[in-house]
C-alpha cells in the first residue's frame, strides 16, 4: 500500500503541476483573434463583416487577395477592444516582453505596431511606424515569438523603439499582394 501511494505521487504530482501552471498561464494571455474585432482595407475577397463572422465561427482570421490586386492589403486589430478602427491606446505591463503569433501566409507580411497619439485619445495615422517582417509560411501554420524590442521605426537597427506603454493597434500589411495570396491568423497573444 505504501508503494502505491509513492507511485501515485511520483506519477500524478508532476502532471498536476504541469497542467496547473499551463492553465494559469493560458488564462493570463490575451488572444486578439478571439477577443477583438478586426478591420480590413481592400483589395481582398473578404469584407469586414465576412472576416469577423468567419473569425468568430472558426477561430481564424483569413484574408485572401482578389484577382489582380492593386495596392496594399492592410489587416488591423486594436489592442484595446473597439468597434471602430481607432481607439484608446493600451499601457502594456512591463512583464509583457513579446508578441506571439500563430499564422500561415503565402507572402512576407510587415507587422506594424502603431502607437497612440499624444493626447491619448486615438492612434497615430500616416507616416512610418515601428515594425517587423513576418516570413512567408505557405504550407503550414507557424508560431513566432517576437520581442517588443524588435519593433523599430521602419525596421531600421537604429530606428525608434516601440513604446509598449502607448500601444494602439497592430497592422498586418502586404505591400505587394499577388493574386489569391492568403494570410491566416490563429492567435495573436501578448
The per-residue pLDDT for range 23-36, each reduced to its tens digit, is: 333 446 789 999 99
Cell triple for residue 3?
508503494
| pTM score above 0.85 | no
The reported pLDDT for the residue numbered 104 is: 98
- Distance (Å, rounded) from C-alpha 41 to C-alpha 63? 10
Nearest to 137 by CA among 174, 184, 186: 184
The stretches in the chain having pLDDT less than 70 are 1-28
The reported pLDDT for the residue numbered 18 is: 40
The reported pLDDT for the residue numbered 158 is: 95
The reported pLDDT for the residue numbered 67 is: 85
Percent of the chain with pLDDT over 70: 85
The reported pLDDT for the residue numbered 12 is: 43
Q: How far apart are the first and last CA of the chain?
A: 47
Amino acid at each position: 500500500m505504501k508503494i502505491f501511494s509513492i507511485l501515485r505521487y511520483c506519477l500524478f504530482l508532476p502532471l498536476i503541476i504541469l497542467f496547473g501552471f499551463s492553465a494559469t498561464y493560458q488564462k493570463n494571455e490575451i488572444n486578439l483573434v478571439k477577443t477583438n474585432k478586426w478591420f480590413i482595407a481592400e483589395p481582398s475577397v473578404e469584407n469586414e463583416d465576412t472576416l469577423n463572422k468567419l473569425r468568430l465561427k472558426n477561430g481564424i482570421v483569413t484574408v485572401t487577395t482578389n484577382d489582380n490586386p492593386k495596392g496594399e492589403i492592410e489587416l488591423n486589430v486594436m489592442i484595446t477592444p473597439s468597434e471602430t478602427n481607432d481607439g484608446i491606446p493600451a499601457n502594456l505591463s512591463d512583464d509583457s516582453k513579446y508578441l506571439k503569433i500563430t499564422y500561415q501566409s503565402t507572402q512576407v507580411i510587415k507587422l506594424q505596431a502603431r502607437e497612440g497619439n499624444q493626447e491619448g485619445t486615438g492612434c497615430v495615422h500616416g507616416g512610418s511606424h515601428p515594425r517587423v517582417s513576418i516570413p512567408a509560411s505557405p504550407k503550414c501554420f507557424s508560431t513566432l515569438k517576437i520581442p517588443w524590442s524588435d519593433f523599430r521605426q521602419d525596421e531600421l537597427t537604429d530606428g525608434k523603439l516601440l513604446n509598449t506603454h502607448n500601444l494602439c493597434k497592430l497592422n498586418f500589411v502586404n505591400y505587394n499582394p499577388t493574386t489569391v495570396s492568403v494570410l491566416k491568423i490563429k492567435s495573436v497573444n501578448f
